[in-house]
C-alpha cells in the first residue's frame, strides 16, 4: 500500500511571503495542486530509454534538464529495485543513488508552478530533504517517522518567475526515486487569486 505523507499543515493555504507583493502556496496534495494550476505540463519520463542503473549525472527531456551532484548518479528505471522506489505514472521513473546529494531541475523557460512525486525517501536514517527555488528555501522535510517506499507529493505555485529548483538530501545512504514532474505558467485568473490571497495574508500579519 502506498502511503501519502502530509508535508505541510495546510495543503492549500498561503504559507509564506517571499517579499511584499510576492506570495506562494505549497501543496502536499496532488489533486489540489492541479486544481490550482490546471495549465501545467507533466513529464513522466515514458519516452526515455530504460537502463535500470545509475549511469547518468544528468538527464535531459523536452523542457528541462535534471542533474545530480554529490552522488554516483541516477538512471531511468522501469523495475523497482530491491530497496524500493517506483513509478507513480506509467512504468518509467528516475532513481538516484544512495549518497547525500543535490538534485537540480534547470528549466528551459521561466515558470510559476512546479510539482513532483517522490518515493522511498527518508527511511534510511536521520536527515532532511530541502526544496529551494534558486537560493530561496521554500520547504524542508524531516525523515522522522517515514517508512519504506512511502510516497509524497510536493508542489509550489507562486507569483514570481523562477527557472531552477533544487532538492537537497542529507540522509546518508539514501536512494530514492521521483516521477510526474509538473511545471508551467497557470492561467491569469489563478495568479490573480494567489496575489489577492498573499495580500490578505500580508495584511493579517501586519495587524
How confident is the model over 128-144, as a mean pLDDT? 90
Domain coordinates of the chain in residue numbers?
Answer: 14-206
Find where cell 496534495 sits: 29
> How many Å apart are CA 98 and CA 45, to the nearest integer?
21
User: Which of helix, strand or coil describes residue 196?
Assistant: helix
Q: How sure is the predictor about 135, in pLDDT bands with cuts at 50, 70 and 90?
A: confident
Quote the CA–CA distance of 146 and 125 in Å, as a whole number: 9
pLDDT single digits (tens) 20-66: 346 889 999 999 999 999 889 999 999 999 999 998 999 999 999 99
| Residue-level pLDDT at 18 | 38
Q: What is the reported pLDDT for 187?
A: 65
How large is the average pLDDT for residues 168-186?
92
Pick the CATH number of 14-206 from 1.20.1440, 2.60.120, 3.30.420, 1.10.3470: 2.60.120
What integer is the mean pLDDT of 179-185? 96
**What was the pLDDT predicted at 204?**
39
pLDDT at 3 over 50: no
Provide mean pLDDT across the span 106-111: 96
Question: In the chain, where do the E strands start and end?
Answer: 14-19, 22-27, 41-43, 58-60, 64-69, 74-77, 93-96, 101-119, 128-133, 136-142, 151-169, 176-184
Question: pLDDT digits over 156-174, tens only?
Answer: 999 889 999 999 999 988 8
User: Is there a contact between 161 and 111 (Cβ–Cβ < 8 Å)?
Assistant: yes
User: Does residue 129 surpass a pLDDT of 50?
Assistant: yes
Average pLDDT on 106-121 reads 95
Question: By three-state DSSP, how is residue 138 classified?
Answer: strand
Taking the alpha carbons of 151, 99, 139, 105 in that order, is the dihedral positive or negative?
Answer: negative
Between these two residues, 92 and 187, which has the higher pLDDT value? 92
Nearest residue to 120 (alpha-carbon basis) of 156, 157, 173: 173
Residues 78-105 pLDDT 10s: 998 888 899 999 999 999 988 778 999 9
How far apart, in Å, are the Cα atoms of 142 and each of 123, 127, 146, 158, 167?
11, 6, 9, 23, 13
- Mean pLDDT for all residues in the chain: 82
The answer, yes or no, to whether residue 202 has pLDDT greater than 70, is: no
pLDDT of residue 70: 85
Tell me if residue 36 falls in helix, strand or coil. Answer: helix
More confident residue, 22 or 197: 22
Do residues 139 and 131 make contact, with C-beta atoms less than 8 angstroms apart? yes
- Residue for grid cell 502556496: 25
Amino acid at each position: 500500500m502506498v502511503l501519502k505523507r502530509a508535508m505541510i499543515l495546510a495543503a492549500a493555504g498561503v504559507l509564506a511571503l517571499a517579499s511584499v507583493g510576492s506570495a506562494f502556496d505549497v501543496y502536499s496534495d496532488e489533486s489540489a495542486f492541479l486544481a490550482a494550476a490546471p495549465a501545467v505540463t507533466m513529464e513522466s519520463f515514458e519516452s526515455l530509454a530504460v537502463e535500470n542503473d545509475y549511469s547518468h549525472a544528468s538527464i535531459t527531456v523536452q523542457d528541462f534538464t535534471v542533474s545530480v551532484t554529490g552522488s554516483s548518479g541516477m538512471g531511468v528505471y522501469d523495475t523497482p529495485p530491491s530497496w524500493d522506489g517506483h513509478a507513480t505514472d506509467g512504468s518509467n521513473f528516475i532513481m538516484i543513488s544512495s549518497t547525500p546529494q543535490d538534485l537540480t531541475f534547470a528549466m528551459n523557460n521561466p515558470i510559476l508552478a512546479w510539482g513532483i512525486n517522490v518515493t522511498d525517501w527518508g527511511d534510511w536514517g536521520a536527515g532532511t530533504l530541502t526544496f529551494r527555488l534558486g537560493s530561496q528555501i521554500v520547504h524542508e522535510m524531516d525523515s522522522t517517522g517515514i517508512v519504506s517506499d512511502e510516497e509524497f507529493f510536493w508542489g509550489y505555485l507562486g507569483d514570481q518567475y523562477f527557472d531552477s529548483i533544487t532538492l537537497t538530501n542529507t540522509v546518508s545512504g539514501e536512494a530514492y526515486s521521483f516521477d510526474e514532474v509538473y511545471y508551467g505558467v497557470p492561467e491569469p485568473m489563478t495568479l490573480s487569486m494567489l496575489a489577492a490571497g498573499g495580500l490578505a495574508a500580508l495584511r493579517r500579519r501586519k495587524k
